[in-house]
Structure 1
Amino acid sequence: MPIDPLHTPEYVPVGDEYATIVTNKGTVVVELDGLGAPVTVGNFCELAESGFYDGVKFHRYEPGFVIQGGDPITRDMDPSDVAAGIPGPAGVPGTGGPGWCIRHEYDVNPRNSHVDGAIAMARSAMPDSAGSQFYLCLGPQHFLDSGYTVFGVTEEGLDVAHSLRAGDVIESVTISHGNPAA
């Protein structure tokens, strides 16, 4: 599948979006920053609303650093194989995406801060290579501020985020306008 390095999502954030990420360990509610990172939030919302993240596993866990997921390659894999990094039928966990990339926004987002619980886009060495993979910070990681787009922060379930490990399942991601728990 050809890669369009500058996919522009049709979803235009209004600035009140929240993502509810339901995992096998519990729920994480993230306030999305649609004003600071509109392309990234638009892309994430489109993917979530299409069911793209449903059943995908977290494939990378670095203690005190990040938990990373969003790779569709992991969807049909056994969680223990994902945790071990064993290739599945569609490839190696951590190498998949939606078939496109989005423009980075880390240098234009005034709130691009990797605080504990921040959600940000994973990417390769190329600045405009993010697609679907994201990570949650497990502690402040400010050295990443100048190279990775933060697009929200955990409002509820930070303890759940910290309990996640490679192989854990993203059961669903839903988008709401306004805090769903309020």
Structure 2
Amino acid sequence: PAASPAAAAGCWATPPTMTSGYMQWDTAPQMVIDPAKVYTATVATNRGDIVIQLNAAAAPATVNNFVCLARAGYYDVTIFHRIIQGFMIQGGDPTGTGTGGPGYQFNDELPQGETPYLRGTIAMANSGPNTNGSQFFIVHQDQPVEFPKNYSIFGQVTSGIEVLDTLTTVPVADIGRGEVSSPQVTVGIKTITIAEQ
């Protein structure tokens, strides 16, 4: 997608470079959100809209990153590349491979409490400690208390949970390492728009 520098004003000191058609930055965005405000993300998918209230008070850097990427158009016309019914749907990689990201990583803001990964929770996907980039997942069903608290939670679905249910029912195939999670039909994100109050 084309960059939207006006919408993402202040997020980065320098414009993104384009690598294989995807926006890349050298550093995580500067803090531009106000953690005291309420931010809402509307994820428009090809199956309907999912509305998420972002928790800037609990995860300010994570919400700031998501807001900046969304405003830059980074998530526009991407897919949910990993879907596991009863667990989650994962997106945020413009390459659609599960290996893509924005060119930088930033630190975790890990959750507290016994059962944080509840139905409708949105959290950052990662490949280890402090490797957050652009990929995120939305929890389909409550996860057990022993589920590792290794993923930064930054919001909760407030509307469109039935869309999440629909997305998790698409046919999936083995991705080659014993995990049946590769969607066999396109499950797409059209846009993610941010509102603040």
TM-score normalised by L of structure 2: 0.73
Gaps of 5+ in 2: 1-18, 171-182
2:102 corresponds to 1:98 = yes
SS of residue paired to 2:69: helix
The structure with the larger Rg is 2
Q: Give the deviation of 1:65 after TM superposition.
A: 0.3
Provide the C-alpha distance between the structure 2 equivalents of 1:150 and 1:159, rounded to a whole number of angstroms: 21
Secondary structure of the structure 1 residue equivalent to 2:123? strand
Compare the two structures and name the one with the higher helix fraction.
1
- Structure 2 partner of 1:59: 81
Q: CA deviation at 1:27?
A: 0.2
Give the residue type in structure 2 aligned to 1:156.
Answer: S
Deviations 1:120-163 (A, max 9, x none): 00000x21101000000001124445211110000000010121
User: 5+ unaligned residues in a row in structure 1: which ranges?
Assistant: 75-92
Q: 1:3 to 1:18 in 2, by over 3 A?
A: closer
Asked if 1 retains the 8 angstrom alpha-carbon contact of 2:41 and 2:192, the reply is: yes
- Tell me the number of residue pairs that the alignment of Structure 1 and Structure 2 aligns: 157
Find the counterpart in structure 1 of residue 48 from structure 2.
26
Name the residue aligned to 1:87.
Answer: none
More strand by share: 2
Alignment TM-score, normalising by the size of structure 1: 0.78
**Is 1:171 aligned to 2:173, yes or no?**
no
Identity, % of aligned positions: 37
> What is the aligned counterpart of 1:7 among 2, 6, 28?
28
Aligned residues: CA RMSD: 2.3
After superposing on structure 2, the runs of 4+ consecutive aligned residues of structure 1 that deviate more than 6 Å are: 1-4
Q: 1:127 to 1:176 in 2, by over 3 A?
A: same
Structure 2 letter corresponding to 1:157: G
Whole-Å separation in 2 of the counterparts to 1:24 and 1:50: 20
